[in-house]
Each structure stands twice: as structure tokens, then as C-alpha cells.
Amino acid sequence: MSKVSYYTEEGLKKLRKDLNYLKDVERPKASNAIAEARDKGDLSENAEYDAAKEAQGMLELQISKLENTLANARLIDESELDTSKVLVYSSVEVKNQSNGLVMNYKLVAETEADLKAGKISVESPIGKGLLGKKEGEIAEIKVPNGIIRLEINKITRD
């Protein structure tokens, strides 16, 4: 049984776009590579053919995983999110208690995570540590360098 994941409309569009690209662009390329390798003769000693078949297998696996993810994806209405505590798709302003640095994160599904854009996965240590916390609370989060203490300054949905 597959895990249900929640996505924004933007996240679902990206998944569909990625899947369509793999099916419409990459799959025909893989088929052409196999056909070209097959045309070169004896398949039992044709490394190019073996490599093309392996690449096709990996591509089909990627397509299958994306199709499964989309089949179990649920669209979340961000306008109905509770802002009294940190949830998936919450935007959170936190202050690091050790250095005073203020950071903004948006908690998203694992496949939508993009640290450069301030989107962190709810499956990450920081994401897990922030979930369920309310404004004014301090989250103590175990990270590879030790424990960080983040104070929740503000929770919004945007």
C-alpha cells in the first residue's frame, strides 16, 4: 500500500509535467537508442544494446514511481489550513536561539522540497521538529551538528 502525500496545486502540476516529459520525450529517445543499437548486429555481444535496455528499464521505473506518486497524491486547499500550529504547507518564521538568526521556511511534501526557495520537507529533521508547534514555542531539534533550538515567531499560510 502506498503512502498518501499532500501537494499544492503547483506541486501537482510539476509532478504531471515531469511525468509527461519522461513519457513524451525520454521514452521515445530510449526506444530509438535500442533500435539503433539493435541495427548494429549481434545482440549477444552488443554492449550498446545492453546499456540502452538498462537505461530504458531505469526510465520505466522512474515513470512507474511518478505514476504511483500521482495516484496517491491529494490536493490540499491552503486557504483552509489552521495557522494556530505548524502543519504541512505552513509558512513559519523561526529564530535560532543560539545565534539570533531569523529564518523563514515553508513546510512541504518531500518531493516539493527546495531549500533555496525556503521549502523544507516535513520529513526532514527540522520539518519534523516544527510540526505541531505553536507561536512562541521553542522546538528542540536534533541535527547532525547537535541540537538546535528554534523559537516559532510567526505561522502563516501563503
How does pLDDT run along the chain (158 residues), one tens digit per residue?
467 777 778 888 888 999 999 999 999 999 998 888 888 776 667 788 888 889 999 999 999 999 998 888 877 766 666 678 888 888 899 999 989 999 999 998 887 888 899 899 888 999 999 999 999 999 999 988 889 999 999 998 76
Q: Are residues 36 and 87 in the same domain?
A: no
pLDDT at 30: 92
Q: What is the pLDDT of residue 7?
A: 78
C-alpha cell at 83: 495557522
User: What pLDDT sits at residue 2?
Assistant: 60
- Cβ 107 vs Cβ 43: under 8 Å: no
Verify that 88 and 146 share a domain, yes or no: yes
Q: How far apart are CA 53 and CA 37, in angstroms?
A: 10
Domain final position from 75, 101, 131 = 75
> Is residue 89 located within the same domain as residue 133?
yes
Burial readout 119-149 (b: 16 or more C-beta within 10 A, e: otherwise): bbbbebebbebbbebeeeeebebeeeeeebe
Which of 52, 75, 98 lies at the terminal end of a domain, its last residue? 75
Q: Where are the alpha helices (DSSP H) in 72-149?
A: 125-130
Q: What confidence score (pLDDT) does residue 82 get?
A: 65
10 with 48, same domain: the answer is yes
Q: Which of 134, 111, 130, 132 is nearest to 121 (CA)?
A: 111
First to last CA, the chain: 32
> Are 93 and 56 found together in one domain?
no
- End-of-domain residue from the set 40, 75, 110: 75
Torsion of CA 44, 48, 50, 53, to 10 degrees: -130
Residue 135 one-letter amino acid: E
Residues 45, 112 contacting (CB under 8 angstroms): no
Same domain, 102 and 132: yes
Domain range for residue 138? 79-156
Same domain, 123 and 64: no
User: Do the beta carbons of residue 7 and residue 76 sit within 8 Å?
Assistant: yes
Pairwise CA distance, residues 76 & 8, whole Å: 6
88 and 69 share one domain: no
Asked whether residue 70 falls in the same domain as residue 135, the answer is no
> Domains in the chain: how many in total?
2
pLDDT at residue number 158: 67
Neighbours of 30 (CB within 10 A): 19
CATH number of the domain that residue 92 is part of: 3.10.50.30
pLDDT at 43: 66
What interhelical angle do 27-38 and 47-71 show, nearest 10?
160
